[in-house]
Amino acid sequence: MTPVMAWFRRPHATCVMVGILAAMLAGAGTARADTPPPLPGFIHDGALTVCTNPTLPPMTFVNGTDVKAVDGIDMDIARTLAAYWHVKLTVTTMDFTGLFPSLAAGRCGLVASGIIRLPQRERNFDAVAYQDTALVIVARAGTHPLGGMAELSGRKVAVQAGTSYSARMARENEALAAAGHAPMIITAYPTEEQVVQQVLLGRAFALASQDVELAYRREQLHGRVRVIFTPPYPEYRHFALYIRKDAHDRALLEQAVATLRDNGQMAAIAQKWAITPDTTQALGATAPAFHWGTFFGALTSAAFMRGAFITLAVAVLSHLTAIAISLPMALVLNGRDCVLKTGLTAYVALFRGAPTLLQLLFIWNALPQFLPFFREAWFTPFLATWLSLSINESAYQVEINRAALLAVDPAQAVAGHALGLSRGQVYRHVIFPQALRIALPPTINAFISLLKTTSLASVISVQELLAVTQIQVARTFEFTEYYAAALVYYLAMVFFFLLVQKRVERRFSWADQYRAGTHAS
Amino acid sequence: MHPEPGAVLSIRNLSKLYKDFTALDRISLDVRRGEKVVVLGPSGSGKSTLIRCLNRIEPHDSGSLHINGQTITARTDLIRLRALVGLVFQNYNLFPHLNVLDNCALAPRLVRKMPRAQAEALAMRFLQQVNIAGQARKYPIQLSGGQQQRVAIARALCMQPEIMLFDEPTAALDPEAVSGVATIMNDLAAQGITILCVTHEMRFARHIADRIVFMDQGRIMEITPPGQFFTNPQTRRAQDFLNQMIA
């Protein structure tokens, strides 16, 4: 809430003060007196829900080590809009490719993530422009400026995946082909800092990005890049806020943005983030070095510990659930033919066959379109990850269980029955303990694999270890230090579980003649 | 036909089919309390199937089975039946994940709901009887075949059965261990436990049997005392079998 709004809410405000404020605000045209402006339909339960991919400074990014604190122009605008409507703001972070599906699924009311206003996007969503910009072609410092896009013929150009740049570059390629030139080689990377890194490493000749972002990146890049060309694209002139198609909501949002522009709040935000593009200027480049301080700082940061904890929690919960589901499944699959067995065979084939990432995206983005139940707030990205990894892992675990149960000599069950044990007792006391020993090594192996698969959850905005790492890299451009810190965490977790495995295996000494001997004596 | 009075086990016209194959063909047999009956016959003659039918590890298809005067059917409480009829296997089938003592104490604890201490005391008693109490804390894999078979006998005895079934108990044992098992069987019979034993071992059969039951192709060919069976078998089939075994 802005200070102005706070004034309005003071119950003891005198008539004089209200009069002064009303006079002050009359020119600015904000909401008058205590009545807030009409609320658009995308605001629910007194909250404006905004989705963003915080890897695009200065529009939207994590400006510090707390990965939950999203900052930037977009966030300032979101905060100002929430204050304008007198509602609270909820920010959800996710992968760029997840933004529009989430908007379509109703998981957010508004997408503010440094996204260009484009006619293609406006076919499915409504867009309201809020910030001017320009598409720029950027290369390493020392590269000669271009006379036109044709000079990029045959060169490698990096762009961020899911953005409209790759489509725009493809159109440029058509023009090049029509003119008899070789096309540009377009390579797409999931995050903006990786795009920049390809140019810094010399892997790509140039990148396509926004001048606003480059202005902000100047400090991090130490003048290692420069703008070599600004293509005259009329459509790449505005950042826009996106909402689901609704003419009424769009009019209200346009009115809100116009109000903020008129009362100077937009200008204040732009000034705060110092968007004064002067990217053509190249400063002296600094030599890359490994910053031990950054590395140890990351290692001991609350953000990394929290990320590692989430990684661990997702993996442990998913695997425990998978084991619980897969045990009865294995018993059915090892049993006689029946409808249930056919169904489970199909289940195993489906979930082993489909890529884990696809399953995760399906459950998070596609499922809510059929089952509105999954659109509700309780269905968090964490739960979606837990659900999809449990299902996925159970399809693998059931095979481990099946093999382990089959490996126990059937005569063991006969011996148990001959002693008068019930079916349940035979499973509990005779078969399971022996199957457990056989299943344990492959199960720990599967768990270690799962522990690393959890990194996929970053795509649907779970702040696990790799997501935290990437957010920190986007903020600082210190790839090596943060990657190394993440590596240390992953290795520490894996080694811990290998140790647990050794420990547990020692309890199964009955299967090993030599060790059983030492155990008994 | 009614069960013979005084018989602990009465089998009448018992048949067992595996699809088209007749494994047991109208078997009838009465066994007295404390008797040692050895079942002989070539491979595939149905000997093992017969004794597995006696504690319903394999259910029979027709005929009747009476144990202690009770008729055994699909509705019989299997847990009580199996407490009455113990079974010892050719390959011992000890539980590899439990030590000798736990192997023996498991069924009394689970089936008879005995407290652990009482079950272990019981187990130790029978382990002493088969002369293996010194190995109580070892795991099966650490024992020789003969030792394992003695543990298997003790484990079955822990349910305090009235009838003990042995399915080729000596097939995997060396001669010394075989005579150890024979001694144990004689001890058990002396205590009033009825014994039915399937074997290939002629000397062993002669040593322990009160009666020999000779089977072929799912049928009982003859029932005779061992002295007569080995010197003067009544059927041609039994003669051929003995000639083959001696040759």
Pairing mode, strands A47-52 and A110-116: parallel
Cα(B51)–Cα(B64) distance, integer angstroms? 14
Mean pLDDT for the stretch of residues A472-481: 82
| Residue A521, both tokens | 């004596």
Q: How confident is the model at residue A59 (pLDDT cuts 50, 70, 90)?
A: confident
Cα(A84)–Cα(A25) distance, integer angstroms? 13
Which chain A residues are Cβ-neighbours of B79 within 8 angstroms? 420, 422
Which chain A residues are Cβ-neighbours of B156 within 8 angstroms? 418-419
Q: Could B139 and A510 be called an inter-chain contact, meaning their C-beta atoms sit closer than 8 Å?
A: yes
Which chain A residues are Cβ-neighbours of B111 within 8 angstroms? 419-421, 425
Instruction: Share the mean pLDDT of chain A.
Output: 84
Cα(A499)–Cα(A492) distance, integer angstroms? 11
**Which of B95, B140, B142 lies nearest to residue A517, judging by beta carbons?**
B142
pLDDT for A453 equals: 93
Angle subtended at Cα B163 by Cα B161 and Cα B165, rounded to the nearest 5 degrees: 110
Q: Minimal Cα–Cα distance from A513 to chain B, Å?
A: 6
**Max CA separation in chain A (angstroms):** 96
pLDDT digits (tens, 9 = 90+) for B40-66: 998 889 999 999 999 898 999 999 999
- pLDDT beyond 90 at A5: no
Q: Could A412 and B93 be called an inter-chain contact, meaning their C-beta atoms sit closer than 8 Å?
A: yes
Q: How confident is the model at residue A24 (pLDDT cuts 50, 70, 90)?
A: very low
pLDDT for A23 equals: 44
Contact A121, A244 (CB under 8 A): no
Q: Could B99 and A434 be called an inter-chain contact, meaning their C-beta atoms sit closer than 8 Å?
A: no
Rg (CA), chain B: 18
Cα(B128)–Cα(B122) distance, integer angstroms? 10
pLDDT digits (tens, 9 = 90+) for B97-111: 999 999 999 999 999
pLDDT for A295 equals: 92
- pLDDT beyond 70 at B226: yes
Contact B153, B181 (CB under 8 A): yes
Residue of A137, A145, A278, A274 lying closest to A196 (CA atoms): A137
Residue of B238, B162, B219 lying closest to B14 (CA atoms): B219
Question: Which residue's entry shows tokens 């078969």?
Answer: A431
Q: How confident is the model at residue B178 (pLDDT cuts 50, 70, 90)?
A: confident
> Which amino acid is it at A385?
T
Best probe of the A interface among B92, B93, B158, B166, by most A CBs < 10 A, is: B93
pLDDT digits (tens, 9 = 90+) for A190-239: 888 888 888 888 889 999 988 887 777 766 777 788 888 888 887 778 88
- pLDDT beyond 60 at A18: no
Mean pLDDT for the stretch of residues A450-478: 86
Tell me what percent of the residues of chain A surpass a pLDDT of 70.
87
Cα(A55)–Cα(A61) distance, integer angstroms? 5
> Which amino acid is it at B104?
C
- pLDDT beyond 50 at A423: yes
pLDDT for B77 equals: 86
Q: Which residue has the higher pLDDT, A286 or A413?
A: A413
pLDDT for A67 equals: 67
CA distances from A163 to A115, A160, A194, A269, B38 (A): 8, 6, 14, 24, 85
* Least confident among A58-67, A463-472, B49-58: A58-67
pLDDT digits (tens, 9 = 90+) for A258-270: 999 898 888 888 8
Residues B69-86 as b/e (b if ≥16 CB within 10 A, e otherwise) read eeebeeeeebbebbbbbb
Note the ipTM here: 0.90
Which chain A residues are Cβ-neighbours of B80 within 8 angstroms? 420
pLDDT for A354 equals: 94
- Count Cβ atoms below 10 Å from residue A273 Cβ, excluding itself: 17
Global confidence as pTM: 0.72
Q: Could A511 and B141 be called an inter-chain contact, meaning their C-beta atoms sit closer than 8 Å?
A: yes
Q: How confident is the model at residue A4 (pLDDT cuts 50, 70, 90)?
A: very low
Helix (H) or strand (E) holding A502: helix A479-506
Mean pLDDT for the stretch of residues B71-93: 88
**Which of A425, A433, A517 lies nearest to residue B97, judging by beta carbons?**
A433
> Which amino acid is it at B33?
R
Cα(A430)–Cα(A404) distance, integer angstroms? 13
pLDDT digits (tens, 9 = 90+) for A371-399: 888 877 788 889 999 999 999 999 999 99
Mean pLDDT for the stretch of residues A136-143: 89
DSSP letters spanning A262-327: HTTHHHHHHHHTT----TT--PPPPPP---HHHHHHHHT-HHHHHHHHHHHHHHHHHHHHHHHHHH
Cα(A133)–Cα(B42) distance, integer angstroms? 95
Contact A438, A407 (CB under 8 A): yes
Q: Helix, strand or coil for residue B38? A: strand
Q: Which residue has the higher pLDDT, A418 or A516?
A: A418
Q: Could B156 and A425 be called an inter-chain contact, meaning their C-beta atoms sit closer than 8 Å?
A: no
- pLDDT beyond 90 at A94: no
Cα(A250)–Cα(A125) distance, integer angstroms? 10
A354 Rama class: left (phi>0) / alpha (psi -120 to 50) / beta: beta
pLDDT for B3 equals: 56
